[in-house]
Amino acid sequence: MTTTHTSTYSQNQKRFTFNILDSLKVEVRLNENPYGIPLDFLFGMAARKNKKRAFLFVSRILGKHIPVKPVTSLLSGALLGMRIMEIIYGISARNKDQVIRAMLFDENADEVYRSLSKKGFDLPEETLFIGFAETATALGHSTFDVFNNAHYIHTTREKINEIKPSINFKEEHSHATDQACFVNRELLEGTGPIVLVDDEITTGKTALNIIESLHAQYPRRQYIVASLLDWRSEADRQKYKDLEKRLGISIQSVSLCAGEIDVDGDPVEKEKEWKYESAVRPALPSIHRINLHTYSHFKKIPDISCTSVNSSGQVNDTPYSGMTGRFSGLSAGKRADIDHYTEAIGRLLAETRSAGKALCLGTGEFMYLPMKIAAAMGENLFYQSTTRSPIHRVNQQGYAVKSGFAFNCPEDHTITNYFYNIEYKQYDDIYIFFERTVDEKSLDQLLAQLKKTGAANLYTVFMN
C-alpha cells in the first residue's frame, strides 16, 4: 500500500499512519482539529527529493501542487483568520459553520466568500500579516483579507536592485534557503502584533528565524504564528518558549490542525518509472498571449517600479504589481480595489474560455492575484501554481503527486520549476499567469511541457 491511512477518518481517531512508497513511514498523532476537517481533505503525502526533509504534506486546499476550486483555497485562509479571532481574541464568528460547509461541501461557496471579504473582522490594534514565500503567499493574503485595521506583506526570494531588504532570514529545510522582506519600514516599526502565516509547520524553525531577524531591528511584544497544519514536537514548542523568555515577547500559535509526527525510514533516492498518458507526439494547441496592462481602463493599485536581477545577471525592468504586498505592503483599505480589479479581469478572461474545463496556473510566488481572478472566471474551473519543490511522481492510488513536469523558470533559467497533477486532456483551456513580462523564448520549455497535457488552448497572461 502507498500513502494510505491505517483506517478511515473519524473525529475520535487520534493516530494515522502514512506509508510513502514503501520507504518512509510518517505517523501523525492528532491533538487538535477544532473544526473537524477530515485529514484527507487537508492533505495527501508524497516523497520529496530533498534529504533535509524527505517527505511532504501536499495540501489539498492551498492551490499549489494539487488543483483546487479557487474559492476553496480562499475560504481556507478566511477560516484560519476566524481561528485567529478565537484563539487570540476569544471571539467566535457567528457564520463559522457556514464557512466550514462552504469549504468542505461547496455550499454557496462563492456567496459565502463574497460576504466575508466585504465585511472583515475589526482588530483592536493595527496588525501586520506576513505570508511566507513561495508557498504561502496566497494563504497569507487570503487570511489578511478578512481583517480590518491590518496590513499585509509577503517574503520573497527575488533579488532587487533599487531596494535594500528590511530583513533577511533563512528557510533552512528549503531548496532555496534565503528569504527577504522588501517593504516600507514604517510597517515594520509599528507596535501592534505581527502575524506570520505559513501553510505547514514541521519544526517551526523558519518562524523563529524571522522573529529573531524582525525583533533585532523592529522589536515589538507580540508575534502570532498561523498555519493550516502544525506538527511541532514538544521540544520544538519549547524552543518557542525559550525565545519568548530570551526576548521578552509573546509567541502564540494558531492552526486548523495540530499534532505531532514520527518519521521512520529512508529518503526515496531514485524515482520510480513514471509514464504520462499522453500521445506519442505533443498536442498542437492554440497559443494566445494576453497583456493585461493594455486594459488601462481597469483601475488598479499603482505598480512598483524597480528592477530585478536573476542568477545569470539578467536584469528585468518590468514593474512589479502593487497588489501583492511584496514591496510597499497593502492596507485593508485596498481590499475593495483588488476585488474590483480581479473581478473585472476574471470577467474579461471568462469570455475567452471554451465550453470545457479550465485551469488557471499561478507562477512561483505569484499566487494570490491569479487565484482571485480564477474565482471570477466561472464554473468548472480550477487553480494551482508552479513550484520549486522537486517531488517524486508515482501514479499509484493514494499517493498525492501522480504526474509532473520540470521546466526552466522563464524568469531565471538557472532555476528548475515544476507543475504537478495535470492529467492528460483533463483541461480544455489552461491559463498561465505571470506578474511581469518575459520574452517569448523564455517560455519555450514551459509551453512545450504544457502541450503534453493535451489542452486545446494555452493562454499566457501577463499582468505587466
Q: Is the pLDDT of residue 65 over 80?
A: yes
Check whether residue 238 and residue 125 sit in a common domain. yes
Cell numbers at 369, concatenated? 492575484
What pLDDT, on the 0 to 100 scale, is given for residue 124? 95
- 300 and 389: one domain? yes
Regarding whether 344 and 232 lie in a shared domain, the answer is no
Query: Does the residue 375 lie in any domain?
Result: yes
Domain co-membership, 306 together with 445: yes
> Of 66-70, 269-273, 422-426, which gets the smallest average pLDDT?
269-273
Question: Does some domain include residue 136?
Answer: yes
Residue 283's pLDDT is 65
Q: Looking at the domain assignment, is residue 192 inside a domain?
A: yes
Tens-digit pLDDT profile for residues 197-214: 999 999 999 899 999 999
Total of domains in the chain:
2
> What's the rounded Cα separation, in Å, for the pair 277 and 254?
41
C-alpha grid cell, residue 390:
522537486
Query: What's the pLDDT at 182?
Result: 85
Q: State whether 127 and 87 are in the same domain.
A: yes
Does 308 lie in the same domain as 245?
Answer: no
Q: Are 299 and 361 contained in the same domain?
A: yes
In this predicted structure, the answer to whether residue 410 has a pLDDT above a threshold of 50 is yes
Q: In this predicted structure, what is the pLDDT of residue 281?
A: 61
Write the CATH number for 148.
3.40.50.2020
For residue 262, what pLDDT band results from cuts at 50, 70 and 90?
very high
My answer on whether 295 and 382 are in the same domain is yes
Please report which confidence band the pLDDT of residue 170 belongs to, taking 50, 70 and 90 as the band edges: low
**Same-domain status, 295 and 256:** no
Q: Is residue 40 part of a domain?
A: no
pLDDT at 177 (0 to 100): 60
Give residue 11's pLDDT: 42
Give me the chain's average pLDDT, please.
90
Residue 35 lies in a domain: no
Query: In this structure, is residue 259 part of a structural domain?
Result: yes
* pLDDT tens readout for residues 129-148: 999 999 999 999 999 999 99
Q: Provide the CATH number for the domain around residue 453.
A: 3.40.50
| pLDDT value of residue 10 | 38
49 versus 150: the higher-pLDDT residue is: 150
Q: Does residue 18 have a pLDDT over 90?
A: yes
Per-residue model confidence as pLDDT tens digits over 70-94? 999 999 999 999 999 999 999 998 8
Q: Which domain holds residue 150?
A: 70-265
Q: Which of 93-102, 229-238, 277-286, 451-460 has the lowest mean pLDDT?
A: 277-286
* Whether residues 233 and 299 fall in one domain: no
312 and 420 co-located in one domain:
yes
Residue 14 located in a structural domain: no
Within a domain: 271: no
Residues 249 and 293 in one domain: no
Decide the pairing of beta strands 178-181 and 167-170.
Answer: antiparallel
pLDDT higher than 60, residue 9? no
pLDDT tens, residue by residue, 310-360:
888 889 999 999 999 888 899 999 999 999 999 999 999 999 999 999 999
Position 5 scores a pLDDT of 34
Q: Is the pLDDT of residue 51 over 80?
A: no
Does residue 173 register a pLDDT over 60?
A: no
